[in-house]
Structure 1
Amino acid sequence: MDSEGTTCLYINEAIAMSIAFAPYIQVSSPPHTALAIIMSLISTALVLLVPLGLYLYMWSCTHSRSNDPAAAVPPTKWPILGMLPGLVANIYNFHEYSYALLAGSGLNFNGDGPPGAGMRFFITCDPANIQHIFTTNYSNFPKGAEFAAIFDVMAGGFFTIDGELWRLRRMKFVGVIRSPRFADRVAAHCHDKVKNHLLPLLARMASTSTSFDMQEVMARLMFDITAMTVFSVDPGFLSLDMPLIDASLAMDTVMEVGFLRHTMPASLWKTLRWLNIGPERRLHEANRVLRRFVVDTMERRKTNGGQDEDEEVVGDILSLYINDPDYADDDLLCGTLISFMLAGRDTIGTTLPWIFYSLAQNPNVVSIIRNELSPIASHKVARGMGATVIFEPEETKSLVYLRATLYETLRLYPPAHMERKTVVTDDTMPSGHEVYAGDAIYISLYSMGRMESLWGKDCLDFNPNRWLLEDGNKIKYVPSNKFLAFNSGPRMCPGKEIAVVQMKTIIAAVVWNFDLELVESQSIQPKLSCLLQMKNGLMMKLKKREA
């Protein structure tokens, strides 16, 4: 973004914040008219000066910012505004700034915004604190009402709720997702999509030496696979003609605006929602698109026949809910299905581009993966199964180095880079930091994967070997409070192994059949979103490998 564009964004942010802060600096009219006029003038001056001061502060921070993350300094605590100006000034460098802030603060940091704005927070990547939050004192740190409000598009889905209702809805889902037959169906969807759509598309790109956005391709792939898992309907978005994909773009909007909601006073984003302006207008349209997609896809499922009535196991996620009286409310059912679409597409679809980005820069890692795949591929070729090799889920299950490569990518590039919790009652963290009822707690997965104190001096290097035991034949145990990619404690991801199988199938097929090359002179950086997606995509070229 050029300096003029950044300046405009700063001014917009400052003006928006001045509106949010108006309740704190405007006072009710006193009984004497003269005094009322004076107070009104002071109030007006403050409203005008706040955005100007914020703009000048952010401008100076931007123009003095070092490219070295270690040079970051904690935000100054200002009168009235708290630390908000410093945090906003670094919002466009959010990930690296959070990492540098925590690295310089002993893995923990307390902060706050304007008094009364509900912006007091504690950010951590300390494994001892994470165990306390996610396991030891779990009941004191729910996601909270504010989290549910931020992701209101998923209202009622068990990803946004807490307590006994969450426990019951999770049990219902886990009972299905852990069924071996259900897992086999999902793996089959992935295998068939890779074989019949992904590999032909990539082969075409390779044959014409065409550069393409790998992030977009992976998003389309995972959207189709997830829709098959949820609805038993293939939308067909991954195809040679690459049709418009409104629903996937709407999902991106949900995560981008969700990030903005996290970073501003609730009063501000709720006001913008009421006025239906700015990012909230985009989110409103995205919600409409997603709900229309769910309704239309359910109709397609009916037309296609859906699941056979005599089947003994649930064939798709919709079958689990469609006839459940607890989900008779259309909004609840719709929110639940949207949450599954987001969970399925976003986690894997966000991780895969970072895997291919890392592999393109580490040919030695690619060689080791190919050596691990070679016995399987050679056997397939010898049986006359064709030059293009597709690996079965069972064939990749025992591949240790491939799993280590996946884990190393998740360490450095976790798809959900930040977790949010709410404090129910006052508490003291194992680190000694005090948190108070109503505080927001942020757990930075992105920062945790980069801490030298946790991962050693090579913490910024891409090194799958760190996950292997000395004999290289087994994965080293790393506790979930240090490696949080699959969550921890009672909310541990129930679909972890299903996700790993899908990613292994996709990575193996691409790495074995193609050489990967990054297009030069592109800027690879995360976008501002609740997901660690690449801001500018991932432009790549492929070359078909000879058998």
Structure 2
Amino acid sequence: MPTTSSWFTAAMAFSQAYPEILVSFACFIFFILYCQVFRRSSLPVNWPLVGMFPGLLSNLPRLHQWGIGLFRETGCTFWFRGPWLLGFNYLATCDPANLQHVFNTHFSNYPKGEEFLKILDILGDGIFNSDGEAWKRQRLRAHGLISDRRFRAFVACASRDKVEKGLVPLLDEIARRGTVVDLQDVFLRLTFDMTSNLVFGVDPCCLSIDFPTIPFARAVDDAMSTIFIRHVIPPAWWKLMRWLRIGEEKKLATAWKVIDDFIAECIAEKKKLKSLEREKDGVEPKSDLLSAYINDEEEKEQADHKFLRDTALNFMLAGRDTTGAGLAWFFWLLSKNPAVEFKILEELKSIVQKEERSSSDCPTMFDSEELSKLVYLHAALCESLRLYPPVPFEHKAAVQPEVLPSGHRVEQGTKILVALYSMGRMEGIWGKDCMEFRPERWISEKGRVKHEPSYKFLSFNSGPRTCLGKEVAFTQMKAVVAAMLYNFQVEVLEGHAVEPKLSIILHMKNGLKVRFKTRAHV
């Protein structure tokens, strides 16, 4: 067995015999550090064999800020070259002309792609992952359910009910105690309860003063973190870890089981209730999405457990994480822009004065119909989503070779990465004040909400795959914002560091630590 001294002796002998190798290696390391630290260019060096991967790794902790510099320097589109032969090359873009081409004009040539389906395998064959005819069938069915008048009324009623009976009493108690809470956690619990109610027809009561741990919610968070890692390392690496069940892939496997068990239990309970409804005449069917899919007997596919599981998980992810993240960033931006908060409050006061509501100690609540008429509130939410899109990047893959409007040629199978976070910070797209939180950019000269093309404002996707839950999300966010702002003052803890978390959903890395005070209206 070699001793430490023998290893040291061997190393010394090697250095004496091959000093040029050690010098060359030292120079190589120094050159890498020099290029990454002292170069003025944001573009990473495209090294032999490893490509730009070292640059990606060195900038990973500040990935979003790094991306902004890259797109500004390259004119909104550049090639990222990964390690050779590992299938890790991307055409990254936030050019509106390219996005109009990919998401609208030539939509059929840019499906999600096989690699995307592998990265997001936990979502199964749900609407997020599906392409072609399968996607068309699912979207048509989902559109019919979500646009149904009864479901819209259910969303509005359930949102107000949860805010009035769940969120406001919780915040009132927190304000009374004077405790510091993580507002992002509060929002994720709130939207988890809301989405569970819309999808399953069940409120798990995740939002309560004791802040209970919900295994399903924790499992979704773990899954999203692992999926992000899959985006930033070569596919062969994470597939090997999955096969060995180590590292992040082991965490994903554990989370996957928790998610499947939770949804299986909900499906079984829902089918049991359906059987009871059949036995009783005159029982009105539930308005939640899962009940609607189970009740639909026109297609045999709807009764399939895997289909129901995949559909439910896709809806849960779309409703819980995106809306919760969007609300957290919105209130952080308000804390930095008190003038915007003041204008929203003035709009809310106009409703109260118009309705001539009597003053009382009870919290003031607002109906979705009232809130839908508020222009500045809607503009402020759009502006927040522009700067902090809940889904910070999108994936596409080319089916046939062609040249994009930017002049970049894509071949069959070329992966395209769309950077939504960077897009909101490009002067060429949003003007010199692109870094500012300015809701006025969304208001026309006539005082109405200004429309921006979806390929420029991509927070709800664009083209045929535009988010079906857009109006649902706005209904929920407006209900939450109005009740919170009118009844409470939200104070972000001084010195609290806020930065994006590395995940496929734009969560805050350290949460959002705040205090609440009851707002007095004179």
| Superposed pair shares fold, TM > 0.5 | yes
Following superposition, the deviation at residue 55 of structure 1 comes to 8.5
Residue from 445, 462, 478 that aligns with 1:504: 478
Find the aligned partners of 1:287 and 1:135 in 2 and give their Cα distance.
34
2:13 paired residue number: none
2:7 paired residue number: none
Contact 2:270 2:291 in 1 (8 A): no
2:386 paired residue number: 411
| Residue 483 (str. 1) matches residue 452 (str. 2) | no
| Residue 206 (str. 1) matches residue 175 (str. 2) | yes
1:467 paired residue number: 442
Q: What pairs with 1:67-216 in structure 2 (closer than 5 Å)?
A: 73-216=42-185
Find the aligned partners of 1:518 and 1:344 in 2 and give their Cα distance.
25
2:490 paired residue number: 516
Contact 2:216 2:258 in 1 (8 A): yes
| Residue 317 (str. 1) matches residue 289 (str. 2) | yes
Contact 2:92 2:419 in 1 (8 A): yes
Q: Which amino acid aligns with 1:187?
A: A
Contact 2:81 2:89 in 1 (8 A): yes
Per-residue CA deviation, residues 354-387 of structure 1 (Å, 9 max, x unaligned), is 0110111111111110110112224567346753
Find the aligned partners of 2:412 and 2:316 in 1 and give their Cα distance.
33
Find the aligned partners of 1:527 and 1:290 in 2 and give their Cα distance.
22
Per-residue CA deviation, residues 409-457 of structure 1 (Å, 9 max, x unaligned), is 0000000010010111111000101111111101111011001111111
Find the aligned partners of 1:57 and 1:515 in 2 and give their Cα distance.
52
Find the aligned partners of 2:150 and 2:309 in 1 and give their Cα distance.
25
Find the aligned partners of 1:507 and 1:54 in 2 and give their Cα distance.
54
Q: Which amino acid aligns with 2:287?
A: G
Contact 1:381 1:387 in 2 (8 A): no
2:369 paired residue number: 394
Following superposition, the deviation at residue 72 of structure 1 comes to 5.2
2:468 paired residue number: 494
2:503 paired residue number: 529
Find the aligned partners of 1:77 and 1:228 in 2 and give their Cα distance.
49
Cα distance 1:302–1:362, how it changes in 2: closer, same or farther (>3 A)?
same
Find the aligned partners of 1:271 and 1:332 in 2 and give their Cα distance.
28
Aligned-residue sequence identity (percent) comes to 42
| Residue 433 (str. 1) matches residue 396 (str. 2) | no
2:262 paired residue number: 293
1:258 paired residue number: 227
1:278 paired residue number: 247
Following superposition, the deviation at residue 298 of structure 1 comes to 3.1
Find the aligned partners of 2:38 and 2:186 in 1 and give their Cα distance.
35
Following superposition, the deviation at residue 333 of structure 1 comes to 2.2
Find the aligned partners of 1:184 and 1:311 in 2 and give their Cα distance.
19
Find the aligned partners of 2:122 and 2:381 in 1 and give their Cα distance.
30
Find the aligned partners of 1:251 and 1:60 in 2 and give their Cα distance.
40
Contact 1:525 1:536 in 2 (8 A): yes
Q: Give the match's secondary structure for 1:110.
A: strand
1:21 paired residue number: none
Per-residue CA deviation, residues 177-231 of structure 1 (Å, 9 max, x unaligned), is 0112101101211111100010011111111221100000000000000000011
Q: Give the match's secondary structure for 2:418.
A: strand
Contact 2:201 2:286 in 1 (8 A): no
| Residue 354 (str. 1) matches residue 340 (str. 2) | no
Find the aligned partners of 2:80 and 2:290 in 1 and give their Cα distance.
42
Find the aligned partners of 1:457 and 1:340 in 2 and give their Cα distance.
37
Find the aligned partners of 2:518 and 2:271 in 1 and give their Cα distance.
40
Q: Give the match's secondary structure for 2:74.
A: coil
Find the aligned partners of 2:276 and 2:486 in 1 and give their Cα distance.
35
Cα distance 1:214–1:436, how it changes in 2: closer, same or farther (>3 A)?
same
Q: What pairs with 1:296-375 in structure 2 (closer than 5 Å)?
A: 296-301=265-270, 315-322=287-294, 324=297, 325-375=300-350
Find the aligned partners of 2:28 and 2:62 in 1 and give their Cα distance.
17
Tell which deviates more after alignment, 330-339 or 153-162. 330-339
TM-score (norm: length of structure 1): 0.86
Q: Which amino acid aligns with 1:138?
A: F
Following superposition, the deviation at residue 57 of structure 1 comes to 7.7
Tell which deviates more after alignment, 316-325 or 82-91. 316-325
Cα distance 1:147–1:193, how it changes in 2: closer, same or farther (>3 A)?
same
Contact 1:380 1:389 in 2 (8 A): no
Following superposition, the deviation at residue 92 of structure 1 comes to 1.3
1:41 paired residue number: none
Q: Give the match's secondary structure for 1:104.
A: helix
Q: Which amino acid aligns with 2:237?
A: L
Find the aligned partners of 2:496 and 2:102 in 1 and give their Cα distance.
39
| Residue 219 (str. 1) matches residue 183 (str. 2) | no
1:29 paired residue number: none
Residue from 204, 212, 221 that aligns with 1:243: 212
Following superposition, the deviation at residue 84 of structure 1 comes to 1.4
TM-score (norm: length of structure 2): 0.89
What is the RMSD computed on CA atoms of the aligned residues?
2.4
| Residue 443 (str. 1) matches residue 410 (str. 2) | no
Cα distance 1:490–1:482, how it changes in 2: closer, same or farther (>3 A)?
same
Q: Which amino acid aligns with 2:517?
A: K
Find the aligned partners of 2:236 and 2:451 in 1 and give their Cα distance.
44
Cα distance 1:502–1:96, how it changes in 2: closer, same or farther (>3 A)?
same
Contact 1:176 1:314 in 2 (8 A): no
Contact 1:72 1:97 in 2 (8 A): no
